[in-house]
Structure 1
Amino acid sequence: MRNNLIPQKIGIFIWRVVKGRIAVKTELEKRGIVLDTLLCPMCNNVPESIDHAILSCKTAQEVWEGIHKWWKINLPSHITLEELLGGSNYVNFSGKISKIWQAITWSASYIIWKNRNQKVFKNDSWSSSKIICEVQVKTYEWISNRSRNIHKDWLHWLLDPINLGFPDINNRDPG
């Protein structure tokens, strides 16, 4: 999977997520690895699956809510990981904005996973607001350095990321 606005390692990570090749506890158990617990290391409430780690764990939910609020769009109450990572169908973006939205969702998934690993391997993790800030900073750096056609003003990115200085500002599909 590829999006040239973000590093290739994120596309590889997303491919692994889609193929079920992420080392969450339920996947490790399926492969015969004995673990002390199958519970999510972030919330300790439910068995850790890929969907839970990236989408439905409390911290991940807060991150997705914050990112959708930043973009001034509604987060559907019932969304699958496949729908979230699959593109912009539920938000009606097209063209360049669709590609930027994909870069945001893929990068956020990657950063949520990195935070989960920080908790597992170093017993340290960030708040959801710090993860959101990291998504904003990293995607701004990656996108502004990888595209000549995108307005590169940091404040504009934070306040109105949908309108990034394209010749046709309105990138939402009608209706």
Structure 2
Amino acid sequence: MSKVGLGDKTLFWVDTWLGNEPLKIQFPNLYLLAVKKKARVLENYRTLNGGRVWDWVWSRAPTSEEEKQEMENLKGRLQSQVSAQGSDVWFWKNSEHQEFSVKNVKASLGQRLDLNSAAYVFSWNNWVTSKCTTFMWRAIEEKIESAAALRNRGLNLPDILCKTCGAAVESAAHILLSCNFAKRTWELVTNWLKIPMVNVEGSMRDILMEMNEIQRSKSVRKAIYAVAIQTMWILWKTRNERVFKGRQGKVQTVLEEIKEASYQGVKLRSKHSSITRPEWWAFNIIL
């Protein structure tokens, strides 16, 4: 990690210096808008009256609710950051006094590696947009901007309970699986797909693996897997509409959006372009 002084040796978006992850991971929507993705920290501020005024070059101004939220969170993080004097210094993570070396890297990795556990490989699905699959990959790692994730990144949030049910901490898994709204959505989705109800008390990883191994033809399995990803993406969008715009989504409306979005994905991105909307909406398909 970098202990930032002047910001002369640290890349603003790419290096880890503010929190436990690079800012491009913490604020992915802003990173996409940044023109200078490999700019050093000192290139993104100017000194005024002894303080720092932060400024960025965007391809366009942040306009979506997600972009605006990330902008406010980033400003809050930067305001609370205390800069050191002089040039930037690199140190071993979690210890500013431990020398950074290859030996320490090996020791740290050795402590975390479990040779008896099977590695999980996320299966990408090209029947949904790359934005959806990237979101899903980040959600599995609890890296989307849920209230719990934002607090873990150092943001001072007074309330991290789910804004929909108020019954549990708002994590990615809660929003997309175990919240009452998500549970009812999954019930409708699995009924439509004619498959058993998913275990909403489990993990997103388990559900996706289950969908990928269901007893159907290879193409139908891929379609079901695409629907699972689309379901979680639309649940996230619905959550954002509720939090930022006060819109109370309805489960039936969400189901219809899932059906239409997944239909368009399969029709446009697979070789099964002849499938009709009535066939898909009844999930009466032969692929």
More strand by share: 2
> How big is the alpha-carbon RMSD for the aligned residues of Structure 1 and Structure 2?
1.7
1:45 equivalent in structure 2:
167
Taking the aligned partners of 2:138 and 2:265, their CA distance within structure 1 comes to 21
- Quick one: which amino acid aligns to residue 164 of structure 1? I
1:115 equivalent in structure 2:
238
* 1:27 matches 2:149: yes
Taking the aligned partners of 1:125 and 1:141, their CA distance within structure 2 comes to 25
Segments of structure 1 that go 5 or more residues without pairing to the other structure are: 167-175
CA-to-aligned-CA distance 1:12-62 (integer Å, 9 cap, x gap)? 101111222111111111111111211101111211111111000011001
- TM-score with structure 1 length normalisation? 0.86
CA-to-aligned-CA distance 1:73-101 (integer Å, 9 cap, x gap)? 21145542211123525632341111111
SS at match of 2:254: helix
1:164 equivalent in structure 2:
285
Alignment of 1:150-161 (within 5 A): 151-159=274-282, 161=283
SS at match of 1:32: coil
2:272 equivalent in structure 1:
149
Shift of the alpha carbon at 1:151? 4.1
Max Rg structure: 2
Percent identity of equivalent pairs: 27
Taking the aligned partners of 2:167 and 2:138, their CA distance within structure 1 comes to 24
Which structure has the higher relative contact order (CA within 8 Å, separation 6+)? Answer: 1
> Is contact 2:212-2:225 (8 Å) kept?
no
Runs of at least 4 residues off by over 6 Å: none
SS at match of 1:69: helix
1:127 equivalent in structure 2:
250
Distance 1:48 1:109, change over 3 A: same
- TM-score with structure 2 length normalisation? 0.54
Alignment of 1:1-150 (within 5 A): 2-77=124-199, 78-88=201-211, 91-149=214-272
> Is contact 1:22-1:50 (8 Å) kept?
yes
- Quick one: which amino acid aligns to residue 218 of structure 2? G
